[in-house]
Amino acid sequence: MRILDSKNLSVPGYKAWGIHSGIKKTDKKDLAIIYSEREAAIAGVFTKNRVKSACVLLDMARVKSGKGQVIVANSGCANACTGKNGLADARATAEIAARELGVKPEAVYVASTGVIGEFLPMPKMETGIATASGLLSATGWEQAAEAIMTTDLYPKLAIVQEEIGGKTITIAGIAKGSGMIHPNMATMLCFIVTDANISAPMLKKCLLASTERSFNSITVDGDMSTNDMMLCMANGAAGNKRPGVGSKDSKKFQACLDAVALSLAKQVVKDGEGATKFVEIEVRNARNPIEAKRAAMTVAKSSLVKTALFGEDANWGRIMAALGYSGVEMDESRTDIYVGKTKLVEKGLGQGKHADREASLALKQKEVQIIIDLHKGKTAAAVWTCDLSYDYIKINAAYRN
Amino acid sequence: MRILDSKNLSVPGYKAWGIHSGIKKTDKKDLAIIYSEREAAIAGVFTKNRVKSACVLLDMARVKSGKGQVIVANSGCANACTGKNGLADARATAEIAARELGVKPEAVYVASTGVIGEFLPMPKMETGIATASGLLSATGWEQAAEAIMTTDLYPKLAIVQEEIGGKTITIAGIAKGSGMIHPNMATMLCFIVTDANISAPMLKKCLLASTERSFNSITVDGDMSTNDMMLCMANGAAGNKRPGVGSKDSKKFQACLDAVALSLAKQVVKDGEGATKFVEIEVRNARNPIEAKRAAMTVAKSSLVKTALFGEDANWGRIMAALGYSGVEMDESRTDIYVGKTKLVEKGLGQGKHADREASLALKQKEVQIIIDLHKGKTAAAVWTCDLSYDYIKINAAYRN
């Protein structure tokens, strides 16, 4: 697998672009289109929130066909909690794009992110889709990534290449965060495309596995959105032989998809609302994978752990307290905690002022690793989170202003 | 039931006091003693965190006897994650108090709150307990309430009176918050005393019921502490006839205990770390009590709802999103949301700019009520929370400094 520079992102057979259509009050981009020159296999993962945006409802129905060709995504308005009118607007959005791009309406998927409870400004959508369709470019991915941003500070892109079935295949994606970030899914939009030739069922299976290891392993604020979705198109332009179930090629494909999804997920955490630190929490020697991840996630979510990280304070008692209420089998007197390379806690007991000082130094870095050894089993899991800062409050107190 | 002014709190047969013993680095009070002149029935509720402080472990064992006479509580050091030494220190604390006050060591309960992972400074504890014992006073409750404060801004006290079995009985209590506040239990200490004559088993039953309706119905930051405990002593000094199971008197007693516990719980929320608003979230017409409370609690916990409250922004989409991921049976198109008296959402849809403006005005008040009608059943539940402000971050980023 080769990790390419996402500055020069392009994938054979795809075009993309993003523009400002007037949905956002500012002059920032707010409408993106992703277009495959041929019909592609498609798979999707959607929010598990009972309250789903109109676009999620529409796409969940469409993705059953396993086929798609276009994604229209807007920021600034979530088209969630908008009832029947919202659903009609989502459908109309797809129809406009289908007309502009000469594809079937059912091959168009729509995605929205932004304020809940407001209706899409359809005249602006119509003009915007026409404009963006005319500008589509093989190298328009950064524009598209910018156009799906809300409180994100920078666009998120990733691209890898691999040899599969004798051909070079490319997998690339864009994503947006950056609040309401928590598994199942994180609040986010993520669109991945590949020129690989792969069946829709295998694509779905791979996407679910990648999601679990990437977007379902991050948290920013513990809130789950109404609009989360990840869509993955595979248009077969690479001309490779389809990888068979369980084949070496299918494993290579999975690894590439994992890499793109994880890169994007980590970018989402790094750009978490108000985040000043990127924190990896690894739990080792848990009884099983579910407990390993739950323990790590409980620590990653704790407001008190996250504020201590912001304060660069090695307050390990808060980590121990979070482990204690995680519901995971653990024993304080067997638990070790490391910050970076410093063993801060051994068998449940603090290792003194020197360790405390060393850990505090490690916490001054932009990237922090916390390792928790439960000594209860043999399974490990890692999750990624950020600190909780003044700016998270600032961004979210005034979000609709 | 008469609600008395907690400024003049006293309960027949009890004395209390609080002093600065030197555990805290500042000159603030950090050691409280509560003393019953005779052996009392006692009941307790303790944190469900797997990681329990030494004092919780000690008291959980002692409370099985149903008997107690003294509570020694310190702030500034949690005596949690301190292993065997911590447990020995907790036991020694009880022994020192027993000696000073001439009671059996097993009748002494200890409680601690503060930084996790540090050991109690036993010489200071010893001197402090001796000093405080000598100062015990029937009107020393405010001093005791001050001595258990950590980041609390003010002491929390409550007192009610009622006629039971032909006698006037008094129930009063003190509590501390104010971070790590979340059910099972909230991070807090709460000590309630009464001169009622009541059996230990009935006291326990009443205390559990009161806890569910008070401290298990509040949240500040979703973190659960290692040190939470609520102890309730009943010394029988009122000389009333013991209320029988299911009797009118037992219901009166329950109502009084509920009132004291709820008053203290609400004070904890009002004084939540960085709180600028006290918010009641009521869910109506849920399918059952568990779902009503879970829905209310999920909204109460959401960082995005809490930051919107701080920003005085009627961003109801975040409430709907939280209901959607609460796991509770709900249907967006049947859900109404009120802020104060303003219907902000009807059948899942926003009620326009006028309603939005009215709701924003209601959000400018210090006390805010949010009502959610699920139209799914017949059960209601209320919980209490506060907003999430810059000061929560400030307090918790620098807690150990």
Q: Give the CATH number for residue A146.
A: 3.60.70.12
Q: Is residue B178 part of a domain?
A: yes
CA angle centred on B11, ends B158 and B269, rounded to 5°: 15
Rounded alpha-carbon distances, angstroms, from residue A103 to A35, A99, A182 = 10, 7, 35
B23 contacts: CB under 8 Å, gap ≥ 6? B30, B31, B74, B75, B76, B77, B114, B120, B121, B124, B125, B128
Is residue B170 located within the same domain as residue B251?
Answer: yes
Cβ burial A78-108 (10 Å sphere, 16+ → b, else e)? bbbbbeeebbebbbbbbebbbebbebebebb
Model confidence pLDDT, tens digit, residues B291-305: 999 999 999 988 888
Q: Cα distance from A39 to chain B (closest Cα, Å)?
A: 34
Strand partners, A111: A73
Chain A positions in Cβ-Cβ contact with residue B343 (cut-off 8 Å): none
Cβ burial B248-272 (10 Å sphere, 16+ → b, else e)? ebbebbbebbbbbbbbbbbbbbbbb
> Nearest to residue A110, comparing CAs of A265, A236, A227, A261?
A227
B400 with A332: Cβ contact below 8 A: no
Which of B311, B394, B398 has its CB closest to that of A398?
Answer: B311
Strand partners, B229: B46, B189
Give the mean model confidence (pLDDT) for residues A265-285.
89
Q: Which of B87, B318, B376 to mutate to test the interface with A (most CBs of A within 10 A)?
A: B318
Minimum Cα–Cα distance from A224: chain B residue: B325
- Give me the pLDDT at residue A28, please: 95
Residue B178 CA to residue B392 CA, distance in Å, equals 10
- ipTM above 0.85 for this complex: no
Q: Is residue B138 part of a domain?
A: yes
Is residue A128 located within the same domain as residue A60?
Answer: yes
Cβ burial B228-241 (10 Å sphere, 16+ → b, else e)? bbbbbbbbbbbebe
- B254 three-class SS: helix
B226 with A320: Cβ contact below 8 A: yes
- Give me the pLDDT at residue A183, please: 42
Strand partners, A218: A384
Check pLDDT > 60 for residue B399. Answer: no
Q: Is residue B216 part of a domain?
A: yes
Give the mean model confidence (pLDDT) for residues A18-40.
96
Is residue A184 located within the same domain as residue A307?
Answer: no
* CB A330 within 8 Å of CB A287: no
Is residue A242 located within the same domain as residue A288?
Answer: no
Chain A positions in Cβ-Cβ contact with residue B390 (cut-off 8 Å): 390, 393-394
Model confidence pLDDT, tens digit, residues A77-87: 999 889 999 99
Check pLDDT > 50 for residue B184. Answer: no
> Which one from B113, B151, B170, B187 is the annotated catalytic residue?
B187
Give the mean model confidence (pLDDT) for residues B98-123.
95
- Residue whose pair of structure tokens reads 């598990």 in the numeric block: A48
* CB A286 within 8 Å of CB A381: yes
Residue B188 CA to residue B49 CA, distance in Å, equals 13
Check pLDDT > 80 for residue B358. Answer: yes
Is residue B263 located within the same domain as residue B292?
Answer: no
Is residue A238 located within the same domain as residue A288?
Answer: no
**What is the tally of structural domains in chain A?**
2
* CB A271 within 8 Å of CB A389: no
Q: Which of A48, A310, A318, A385 to mutate to test the interface with B (most CBs of B within 10 A)?
A: A318
Q: Cα distance from A107 to chain B (closest Cα, Å)?
A: 28
Check pLDDT > 50 for residue A208. Answer: yes
Q: Cα distance from A259 to chain B (closest Cα, Å)?
A: 28
The token pair at A271 is 């750009």
Is residue A156 located within the same domain as residue A252?
Answer: yes
Specify the amino acid at residue B230: M
B223 with A302: Cβ contact below 8 A: yes
Higher-pLDDT residue of B225 and B134 is B134
* CB A181 within 8 Å of CB A187: yes
Residue B300 CA to residue B279 CA, distance in Å, equals 8
> Within 10 A of B85 (CB to CB), how many other CB atoms are there?
14
Minimum Cα–Cα distance from A85: chain B residue: B349
Give the mean model confidence (pLDDT) for residues A363-383.
94
Residue A207 CA to residue A201 CA, distance in Å, equals 10
DSSP element (H, E) containing A265:
helix A248-270
> Which one from A187, A194, A211, A385 is the annotated catalytic residue?
A187
Chain A positions in Cβ-Cβ contact with residue B356 (cut-off 8 Å): none
Q: What's the residue count for chain B?
A: 401
A398 with B323: Cβ contact below 8 A: no
Residue B265 CA to residue B230 CA, distance in Å, equals 11
Residue ending a domain, among A270, A299, A318, is A270
Is residue A109 located within the same domain as residue A134?
Answer: yes
- B336 three-class SS: strand
Residue B387 CA to residue B270 CA, distance in Å, equals 10
Chain A positions in Cβ-Cβ contact with residue B397 (cut-off 8 Å): 307-308, 310-311, 313
Task: Let me know if B131 is a catalytic residue.
Answer: no
Strand order in the sheet with A379-386: A218-219, A379-386, A278-286, A367-373, A336-339, A342-346, A349-350
- Give me the pLDDT at residue B391, please: 76
Residue A314 CA to residue A356 CA, distance in Å, equals 6
Chain B positions in Cβ-Cβ contact with residue A48 (cut-off 8 Å): 325
Check pLDDT > 90 for residue A19. Answer: yes
Q: Is residue B273 part of a domain?
A: no
Minimum Cα–Cα distance from A333: chain B residue: B83
Q: pLDDT class for A259, splitting at 50, 70, 90?
A: very high
State the pairing for strand pair B167-176/B189-194: antiparallel
* CB B43 within 8 Å of CB B207: yes
Chain A positions in Cβ-Cβ contact with residue B392 (cut-off 8 Å): 303, 307, 393
Q: Cα distance from A88 to chain B (closest Cα, Å)?
A: 15
Q: What percent of chain A has pLDDT over 90?
A: 70
- Angle of helix B303-310 relative to helix B289-301, nearest 10 degrees, comes to 60
Domain of A96, in residue numbers: 2-270
- Give me the pLDDT at residue A398, please: 63
Is residue B55 located within the same domain as residue B185?
Answer: yes
SS (H, E, C) A326-380: CCCCCCHHHCEEEECCEEEEECCEECHHHHHHHHHHHHCCCEEEEEEECCCCCEE
Model confidence pLDDT, tens digit, residues A314-335: 889 889 988 988 889 999 999 9
B324 with A118: Cβ contact below 8 A: no
Is residue A196 located within the same domain as residue A285?
Answer: no
Q: pLDDT class for B40, splitting at 50, 70, 90?
A: very high
Q: What percent of chain A has pLDDT over 70?
A: 94
Give the mean model confidence (pLDDT) for residues B87-98.
98
A50 with B397: Cβ contact below 8 A: no
Residue ending a domain, among A225, A248, A270, is A270
Check pLDDT > 70 for residue B181. Answer: no
Q: What is the CATH number of the domain that holds B393?
A: 3.10.20.340
Q: What is the mean pLDDT of chain B?
A: 91
Q: Cα distance from B317 to chain A (closest Cα, Å)?
A: 5
B399 with A311: Cβ contact below 8 A: yes
Which of B50, B83, B184 has its CB closest to that of A330?
Answer: B50
A307 with B393: Cβ contact below 8 A: yes
Is residue B224 located within the same domain as residue B348?
Answer: no
A50 with B225: Cβ contact below 8 A: no
Q: Cα distance from B116 to chain A (closest Cα, Å)?
A: 5
Model confidence pLDDT, tens digit, residues B59-83: 999 999 999 999 999 999 999 889 9
* CB B275 within 8 Å of CB B269: yes
pTM of the full structure: 0.81
> Nearest to residue B10, comparing CAs of B141, B135, B163, B136?
B141
A333 with B82: Cβ contact below 8 A: no
Residue ending a domain, among B219, B242, B268, is B268
B345 with A81: Cβ contact below 8 A: yes
Dump strand ranges (E) for A165-277: 167-176, 189-194, 218-219, 229-234
Chain B positions in Cβ-Cβ contact with residue A349 (cut-off 8 Å): 81-83, 117
DSSP element (H, E) containing B192:
strand B189-194
Check pLDDT > 50 for residue B208. Answer: yes
Chain B positions in Cβ-Cβ contact with residue A82 (cut-off 8 Å): 349
Higher-pLDDT residue of B189 and B181 is B189
B48 with A330: Cβ contact below 8 A: no
Chain B positions in Cβ-Cβ contact with residue A302 (cut-off 8 Å): 222-223
The token pair at B71 is 């509570």
> Nearest to residue A350, comparing CAs of A360, A365, B229?
A360
Is residue B237 located within the same domain as residue B127?
Answer: yes
> Nearest to residue B170, comparing CAs of B397, B13, B309, B30?
B13
Q: Is residue B12 part of a domain?
A: yes
A389 with B394: Cβ contact below 8 A: no
> Nearest to residue A303, comparing CAs of B399, B84, B394, B222?
B222
Q: Cα distance from B201 to chain A (closest Cα, Å)?
A: 28
